[in-house]
Structures are given as structure tokens and as C-alpha cells.
Amino acid sequence: MRTAYFSRHTFQVLALLASILALPDMGSAAILSGVVRDPAGLGVGGVDLDILDAATGMKISTANDTTDPDGTFDIVVPVGLYHVVFNVPQVKRLVSLRIRNIDIVEPSTDVGDIPLVSGVRLAGRVARASNGSFVFDADLDVDDSFTGDRVITPDDNSDAAGNFSVIVPLGVHDITVEPSLSDILVSERVLAVSVTGDMDLGTISLQGGFLVSGTVTQGGPPIEGVEVDAFSSIDGGRIPTPGGDSNNVGFYSIVLPVGDHTVKASPPLGSGRAHVLLLGVMVSGPTNLDIDLPSTPISVAVGSTGSVVDRGGFFRPEVFLLNNTAGPVEIRAIVAVTLPRSGATSEVLPPVQRMIPPTVFPLSGIARIRIPANLNPRLLGLPLHFVTTVLDPSSGQVRDTDRIEFRIR
């Protein structure tokens, strides 16, 4: 009797062929391969790969996208530019990873070794402040306090007993707890948590709030993709508003605590619309807040490289400018740091006047702000706002303005 023999490689090829045949008609496909390794250089099995379209962020459906016991992976993916997320089981105690902008080309793209770093366990529980009952399915986000980079934390939602557990690298991190919108609870931030080993954050209590919702329009028609943020009118601290982006009919919904707040609506770049900053939004019950975004010839947007900066260091926010017209536009730009609690403003860079040419893509630059080493200690830990405003140099009319929050420690 003749015995058929198939090597492991043969089975891999057959599996890949089956995957290709099973794919819907979406153009050319290629094989993405590599090896995930731990700090000792050993392969890491059981790592789940997510393939995200670099332009839209949408997850691409892929078969056989978990690493083999030796850490190898071979995945059939449509040709294109992707972000690839490596979700590591928590039992491995390794930090999950995202690699951006991998260009996958025919017939195959080998990314080689993917090194992972060791991590530590960050745990805690989420409860309602009103009665101590546990909060189920609250999402935990972890960001590097200095760079703003998101730490990938798979399986990071609280369980039925309110418990959560994630693997993070050593360092200083911002922790954000975001309950489901239906719970009508206010999200909570814990800033600049120094993680030096396994750590239990204890119970994070969430306050009750009220829904603030409405429609975002652009002179009448609704506008999609507008990010709605909120700041405390008392000290200027940002209140997390998960899921606050307007949908395809312009509707948004966020949860805010009782009190006086500042609400900011940030349009997507390229929409030709300006930011709107609404001061003194009083919340004492469910609140309807419709927002109309005016048109502008010049859009500005500010991006953060982190929420915390040390005394004697540099804060480096990124500033984007976009000309929404067909011709050049002259602007005057003012960059300032404000202390919202007092209203004090300090222009951190000399005002700039320049001509912005027509452009499809935003012009960007990094502001470099030195934080004095002998800064007044009373300012440490207080919310500060980095504000960029563009004006018409002739009339002084504000064309657009944007701000982000940061703190000095």
C-alpha cells in the first residue's frame, strides 16, 4: 500500500490556496508573512493578527490569521496599504503591537521578524459612584503620557464583576475608562500613572451624567465625522467623550456630568468648515445641543504628542493648516498657551503672517515649546491649553481656531 505524505509546508500552501479561492472578488491578493518573536528570540504562537485598511481604518476579513506555535504567519490579504495589529494573549505577558503602513504587494510581502517586548499586568475594577455596583463592558484605553501613542490592549473591557486586566509596557501612561453609552455614566481619566511592575488600580468610580446630543450641520445639511469634545469650564480639563463623532445624518451623543462645560466641535480636515467652541454649556438633565459649523477659507487643526511634559523639557504639538480655496490665502497665526482656570494667556511663539498656497493636503509643522525648569510649582498638574488661531490679517477676523489640553509635571 502506498502512503501519501504531506509536509507542514504543503498543508500551508493548500490552506492558502483555499483562502484565496474563498475570498470575494476584491482585486489582486498577496501573501503577508513573518515571524512573531519574544525578547529571547523565540517564536510566539497564538497571536491574532488584525489587518486594517490604512485609509479607512476598517478591518479586513482574513482567514488563518493566528500565528503558528513557532510564531510564523502566512495570511492572504488584498494588495494595498495596511496597519497590522498583533494581539497577544495575556497569558504570554507580552505587549501587543501595531505596525503602520505596511505596503502589501504581489505575490508576497515578508515583514521578517516582529519583536515583542515584555509587559506587566495592569488591573482594576469599574463601579458606579452612586451605589458601588460594578460596571460591565467598560472599555479601557491606555496611552503613553509623553508620546500619546496608544498601547494595544486586547480583551480590555470590564467583565460582569467590573474587573479588567491588560498587559502594558513599563512607563508612564494615561488610563481612560469608557462605559457604554447606555449606562449614562461619565468616562474617567487617570493621568500620568507610573507603571513599574504589576499594578492594581483599585476601584475606578464613574459618576452619573446626562446625555448631551444633537445634530451637527454645515449651513443646513448634516455633516459626518465631526468630533465632539468637552472641557470642564472650572479648570479646562478634558472630559472623555467616547463615540462622540457625528454619524451620516449628523447626529452625535455624549455623556457629561452636571455642571458648566465648554463643548468643541472639530470638523474633518478638507470639509471647508471651521471649529466651533461653545462656552457655558449648562448640563442639569438631558440636553439637546445642535451645532452649525461655519465655512472657512483656512482650516487649522492641532494634534497632540502626549498629555504630559516634564519641567525643563519640550512640548511638541503638531499644527495642520489647510487652504480650502482655489487660490492663495494670506493668514496671521497666533500660537498661545492658556490657563483656562484663570483665563491667562501667553503667546508662546511670535505671531506669524504668511501666504498659504492652494493645497489638497494639509501643511503641517511641529511647534517646539520649552517648559522652564523653574516653572511655578502651582502650575504643575493643572490643565493647560495649547491654542492655535488663524486670522484674516486685514480685518482681524478669526478664520479658525483649535486647542488641545496638556499638563506639566
Is 384 contained in some domain?
Answer: yes
The answer on 128 and 63 residing in a single domain is: no
Residue 337 covered by a domain: yes
Looking at per-residue pLDDT, the higher value among 303 and 203 belongs to: 203
Decide if pLDDT at 13 tops 60: no
- Which of 246, 266, 292 terminates a domain? The answer is 292
Residues 144 and 126 in one domain: yes
Task: Clarify whether residues 404 and 303 are in a common domain.
Answer: yes
Question: In whole angstroms, what is the distance from residue 204 CA to residue 210 CA?
Answer: 19
- Are 188 and 239 found together in one domain? no
Flag whether 3 is in a domain. Answer: no
Same domain, 341 and 279: no
Query: Is residue 2 assigned to a domain?
Result: no
Do 309 and 395 lie in a common domain? yes
Would the pLDDT of 19 be above 60?
A: no
Q: How many CB atoms lie within 10 A of CB 373?
A: 9
pLDDT tens digits, residue range 314-342?
888 889 999 999 899 898 988 888 888 77
- Say how far apart CA 129 and CA 257 lie, in whole Å: 12
Average pLDDT over residues 354-383: 80
Q: What's the CA gap between 157 and 375, in Å, rounded?
A: 39
Final residue before a domain boundary, out of 206, 232, 265:
206
In residues, how long is the chain? 409
Specify burial of residue 54 (Cβ count, 10 A radius: 0-12, 13-18, 19+): middle
Q: What is the mean pLDDT of residues 346-375?
A: 78
Candidate from 11-20, 21-30, 230-239 with smallest mean pLDDT: 11-20
For residues 169 and 216, membership in a common domain is answered with no
Residue 364 banded pLDDT, cuts 50, 70, 90:
confident
CATH number of the domain within which 17 lies: 2.60.40.1120
**Confidence at residue 3, expressed as pLDDT on a 0 to 100 scale:** 38
Q: Judging by beta carbons within 10 Å of its beta carbon (0-12, 13-18, 19+), is residue 25 exposed, middle or buried?
A: exposed
pLDDT at 304: 77
What's the one-letter identity of residue 174? D
pLDDT per residue as tens digits for the range 203-261: 999 999 999 999 999 999 999 999 999 999 888 899 999 989 999 999 999 999 999 99
216 and 305 both lie in a single domain: no
Q: How many other C-beta atoms lie within 10 A of the C-beta of residue 325?
A: 13
**Structural domain contains residue 79:** yes
Give the domain-ending residue among 180, 206, 232. 206
Same domain, 147 and 197: yes
Asked whether 291 and 276 are in contact (CB, 8 A), the reply is yes
Residues 63 and 18 grouped into a single domain: yes
Q: Are residues 308 and 277 in the same domain?
A: no
Give pTM, 2 decimals.
Answer: 0.84
Can you tell me the mean pLDDT for 126-155? 96
- Distance, CA of 299 to CA of 322 (rounded, Å): 5
Query: Considering its fold, how many domains does the chain have in total?
Result: 4
Q: What is the pLDDT of residue 270?
A: 87
Query: Domain with 375 in it: what CATH number?
Result: 2.60.40.10
| Residue ranges making up the domain that contains 151 | 120-206
Cα-to-chain-centroid distance, residue 291? 23
Residue 1 lies in a domain: no
**Residue 377: what are its φ and ψ, rounded to 5°?**
-60, -25
Mean pLDDT (whole number) for 281-291: 97
- Note the pLDDT tens digit of each residue in 171-201: 999 999 999 999 999 999 999 999 999 999 9
Say whether 390 sits in a helix, a strand or coil.
Answer: strand
C-alpha–C-alpha distance, residues 16 and 295, integer Å? 50
Position 6 scores a pLDDT of 37
Q: Is 17 helix (H, G, I), strand (E, B) or coil?
A: helix
C-alpha cell at 344: 491667562
Give 61's DSSP letter.
Answer: P
Residue 68 within a domain: yes
Q: How far is CA 149 from the centre of its chain?
A: 8
247 in Cβ contact with 210 (< 8 Å):
no
Is residue 47 domain-resident? yes
Q: CA–CA separation, 292 vs 85, rounded Å?
A: 37
List the grid coordinates of 381. 498638574
Q: Which residues pair with 312 in a beta bridge?
A: none
> Is residue 134 located within the same domain as residue 159?
yes
Question: Strand runs (DSSP E) across 257-328, as ranges?
Answer: 259-266, 276-283, 287-288, 291-292, 298-303, 308-309, 314-315, 318-323
